[in-house]
Amino acid sequence: MAVDTSPRSTTWTHVDGEWLPGNPPLIGPTSHAMWLGSTVFDGARWFDGIAPDLDLHCQRINRSALAMGLKPVKSAEEIVALAWEGVGKFDGATAIYIKPMYWGEHGSPGSIVSVDAASTRFALCLFEAPMGRHGGSSLTVSPYRRPSPETAMTEAKTGSLYPNSGRMIAEARSRGFDNALVRDLNGNVVETASSNVFMVRDGVVMTPAANRTFLAGITRARVIGLLRKAGFDVVEATLAVEDFLAADEIFTTGNYSKVVGVTRLDDRDFQEGPVTRKALELYMDWAHGRSESEE
């Protein structure tokens, strides 16, 4: 039986100058992206009539393309304008995921493995995706690690990094957890399998220092700035699993759900604490324009 390739929610994709509904067939079996992984993407959110930091996400996709050896064919401003055009195709009842993408169609002359930048293609896909839960998640320390910049393209938001995240989540869920706390090759905590991570101890907010092994996210930076502006001491540091187990609170940040409290790390239970709630409140107030802009 053929696999149903239709999307699981209302979806519109802009490619080659037109908007197409559903899941258009864009990558073929000879496409470089199909068999050699030359894909990059980014993800922004639209909800409640707003798209927080959309411009920064559209700037980052072009940086990721360059890191992959692709050639950006749209300016960040053009992608932003297209995103708002696409938002208008939805009924506004459900939050939307905004996903710009680049990929390579051909290999370079003389080396099929290396992508030909001149063959770069672009698409912008928008689909309905309700905002994630904020009721808390559980984590377990993953046996798998994040690669270093010498071993993988860690400075791009590339699809080739996500199978590693996928196996981390699958392994964690096989043991009854929602997600995984992930370390780098030196054993330091860097993030979860799908988001950045923070801890709070004695009123001090701490998050793993950006060491190029993980994507130090746009929402992460926004939350750091908002917390500092609100008077919190926020420290980026080298952190171990033991630090998180000794924390008073743990929370995660990411584009998909913004701020989510952690209620369990392996055998340690946590309550969603006041700093976690404040971080979400600050972010949503800023996103809705209810507080002074934090740059």
CATH classification at residue 189: 3.20.10.10
Residue that the structure tokens 């780098």 belong to:
184
Q: Are residues 24 and 66 in the same domain?
A: yes
Tens digit of each residue's pLDDT (9 = 90 or more) over 176-228: 999 999 999 999 999 999 999 999 999 999 999 999 999 999 999 999 999 99
Tens digit of each residue's pLDDT (9 = 90 or more) over 107-165: 999 999 999 999 999 999 999 999 876 678 999 999 999 999 999 999 999 999 999 99
What is d(CA 21, CA 89) in angstroms, rounded to the nearest whole number? 10
Per DSSP (E only), the strands in the chain are 11-15, 18-21, 39-41, 44-46, 96-104, 107-108, 111-115, 120-128, 137-145, 179-183, 189-192, 196-201, 204-208, 234-237, 249-254, 258-265, 268-269
From 104, 128, 152, give the residue that closes a domain.
Answer: 128
- How many other C-beta atoms are found inside a 10 Å radius of the C-beta of residue 60? 22
Tens digit of each residue's pLDDT (9 = 90 or more) over 24-69: 999 999 999 999 999 999 999 999 999 999 999 999 999 999 999 9
Q: Are residues 163 and 276 in the same domain?
A: yes
For the whole model, what pTM was predicted? 0.94
* Contact present, 182 and 144 (Cβ < 8 Å): yes
Q: How far is CA 220 from the centre of its chain?
A: 10
* Contact present, 257 and 220 (Cβ < 8 Å): no
Q: Are residues 157 and 237 in the same domain?
A: yes
CA angle 170, 104, 215 (to 5 degrees): 45
Query: Does the pLDDT value for residue 242 go beyond 70?
Result: yes
Residue 198 structural domain: 137-288
In angstroms, what CA-CA distances link 4 with 7, 15, 23, 206? 9, 22, 10, 44
Tens digit of each residue's pLDDT (9 = 90 or more) over 59-82: 999 999 999 999 999 999 999 999
What is d(CA 158, CA 246) in angstroms, rounded to the nearest whole number? 33
Q: How far is CA 184 from the centre of its chain?
A: 18
Tokens of 92: 């506004």
- How many other C-beta atoms are found inside a 10 Å radius of the C-beta of residue 70? 27
Task: Evaluate whether residue 185 is within a structural domain.
Answer: yes
Task: Evaluate whether residue 94 is within a structural domain.
Answer: yes
Tokens of 151: 């071993």
Q: Are residues 37 and 121 in the same domain?
A: yes
Domain total in the chain: 2
CA angle 250, 253, 254 (to 5 degrees): 150
From 128, 146, 164, give the residue that closes a domain.
Answer: 128
* Contact present, 36 and 107 (Cβ < 8 Å): yes
- How many other C-beta atoms are found inside a 10 Å radius of the C-beta of residue 189? 23
* pLDDT value, residue 131: 87
